[in-house]
């Protein structure tokens, strides 16, 4: 059935379909928000939230991952998308756009996980629109998407079992993105095996400093050979138009890793950006304990829960991970994490997160590829 929804009343159509339909029949087409918020005073708490919808799967889904006090509390939610495709609400989680590109309200009502919050996320810098990301595998387009990224601050309340916090913009910083397009879905039964990606190392890193924001999304096939780079500076919201912004044309990195960690764990390092003028800018990073693992939200699947798959009219599941459990830490961390980092540049201090992966075969950072524990290997097979 083809349905009209409230957005059909407005002049914002892109194709000759009602707004609940998209211009591609690919099941993997999706639109998603990702939001991460960190306590930059104590540097040990990260709250990551995601919501997305898959029009060709009739699915809207969401997750909450709260990492605090040595544990990660996970909540995964899903519902049938129709007929409310215009509302960002899955079970107890609601996301409201208060002011486009500036302010969101995030609310999580009482639910079995014990996590609750009422948070206002406010953009501090203008959003950065990434370049289009395009990949092909087995002569099929597997990645054709775009996103914008924004850094900001958070205010409100957050509670979980044995934890409570009042969030203030001075001490709770955050990042978010909004993406749409085709991206790989978890492999379904009967589908051909996926090809190994060309890239072997990636960094996704939105940062904010007192005077500006910075974001880069970087893939390397081997040291010094990028296969994707999207990077830009952002200025404070409302800042007057000035001279044209410097273009970032290269990213160099010298990262350090925690020795003996059960999964790749960043300790810090230096990022060097090359501008189109030839100027080079150094940013020194220090990683802190705060780190939310995205597999808790279903990234790469978790115990049968896969992003974009139909899970029923309304579904909810939750669990708690012990982040000190070395036998299982590899399982938790293998799909990447929102890792709180402190950044220093020309006397300024800021914060952000880095998501990173280093795959076998990459020519640097062998210490970031620890042996896969036998217990985790058996569970993942």
Rounded-to-integer distance, Cα 189 and Cα 186, Å:
10
Closest by CA position to 74, among listed 32, 45, 107, 113: 113
Average pLDDT over residues 11-29: 86
Average pLDDT over residues 247-276: 96
Quick one: residue 20, left, alpha or beta (phi over 0 = left, psi -120 to 50 = alpha)? alpha
Instruction: Count Cβ atoms below 10 Å from residue 86 Cβ, excluding itself.
Output: 13
The residue written with tokens 């996980």 in the block is 113
Percentage of residues in the chain having pLDDT higher than 90: 78
- pTM beyond 0.75, yes or no: yes
pLDDT of residue 286: 98
Instruction: Specify the 3-state DSSP secondary structure of 377.
Output: helix
The dihedral over CA atoms of 331, 220, 180, 320, expressed in degrees to the nearest 10, equals 20
Question: Across-strand partners of 350?
Answer: 343
**Residue 104: pLDDT above 80?**
yes
CATH number of 30-184+195-368: 2.40.370.10
Helices assigned H by DSSP within 88-214: none
Q: In the structure, what pLDDT confidence band is assigned to residue 20 with cuts at 50, 70 and 90? A: confident
CA angle at residue 331 from 259 to 256, to 5 degrees?
25
pLDDT of residue 178: 97
**Residue 379: pLDDT above 60?**
no
pLDDT of residue 378: 53
**Residue 376: pLDDT above 60?**
no
The residue written with tokens 């387009």 in the block is 141
Between 40 and 144, residue with greater pLDDT: 40
Q: Are 251 and 271 in contact (CB under 8 A)?
A: yes
Q: Which range among 58-67, 236-245, 336-345 shows the weakest confidence by mean pLDDT?
A: 236-245
Rounded-to-integer distance, Cα 366 and Cα 32, Å:
33
Q: Roughly how many angstroms between the first and final C-alpha of the chain, as a whole number?
A: 39
Highest average pLDDT, of 195-199, 235-239, 319-323, 365-369, comes from: 319-323
Residues 23-50: tens digit of each pLDDT = 888 888 999 999 999 999 999 999 999 9
Cα 248 to Cα 8, 199, 266, distances in angstroms: 39, 20, 24
Residues with Cβ within 8 Å of residue 34, at least 6 apart in sequence? 48, 49, 50, 176, 177, 179
């Amino acid at each position: 059935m083809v349905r009209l929804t409230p957005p059909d009343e407005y002049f914002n159509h892109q194709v000759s379909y009602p707004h609940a339909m998209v211009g591609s029949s690919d099941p993997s087409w999706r639109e998603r928000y990702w939001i991460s918020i960190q306590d930059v005073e104590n540097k040990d708490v990260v709250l990551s939230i995601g919501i997305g919808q898959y029009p060709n799967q009739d699915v809207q889904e969401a997750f909450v991952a709260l990492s605090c006090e040595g544990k990660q509390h996970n909540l995964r939610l899903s519902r049938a998308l129709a007929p409310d495709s215009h509302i960002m609400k899955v079970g107890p989680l609601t996301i409201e756009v208060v002011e486009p590109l500036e302010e969101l309200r995030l609310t999580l009502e009482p639910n079995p996980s014990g996590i609750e919050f009422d948070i206002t996320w406010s953009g501090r810098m203008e959003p950065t629109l990434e370049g289009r990301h395009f990949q092909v595998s087995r002569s099929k387009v597997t990645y054709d998407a775009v996103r914008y990224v924004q850094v900001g601050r958070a205010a409100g309340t957050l509670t979980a079992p044995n934890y409570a916090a009042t969030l203030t913009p001075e001490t709770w910083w955050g990042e978010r993105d909004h993406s749409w397009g085709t991206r790989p879905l978890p492999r379904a039964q009967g589908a051909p095996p996926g090809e190994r990606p060309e890239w072997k190392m990636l960094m996704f890193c939105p940062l904010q400093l007192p005077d500006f924001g910075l974001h880069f999304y970087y893939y390397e096939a081997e040291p010094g050979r990028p296969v994707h780079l999207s990077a830009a500076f952002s200025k404070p919201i409302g800042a007057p138009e000035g001279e044209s912004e410097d273009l970032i044309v290269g990213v160099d990195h010298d990262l350090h890793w925690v020795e003996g960690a059960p999964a790749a764990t960043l300790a810090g390092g230096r990022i060097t950006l090359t501008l189109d003028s030839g100027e080079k800018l150094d940013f020194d990073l220090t990683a802190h304990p705060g780190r939310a693992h995205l597999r808790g939200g279903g990234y790469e699947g978790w115990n049968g829960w896969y992003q974009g798959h139909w899970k029923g009219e309304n579904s909810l599941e939750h669990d708690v991970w012990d982040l000190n459990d070395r036998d299982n830490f590899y399982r938790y961390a293998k799909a990447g994490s929102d890792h709180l980092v402190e950044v220093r540049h020309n006397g300024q201090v800021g914060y952000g997160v880095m998501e990173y992966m280093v795959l076998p075969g990459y020519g640097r950072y062998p210490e970031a590829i620890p042996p896969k524990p036998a217990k985790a290997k058996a569970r993942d097979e």
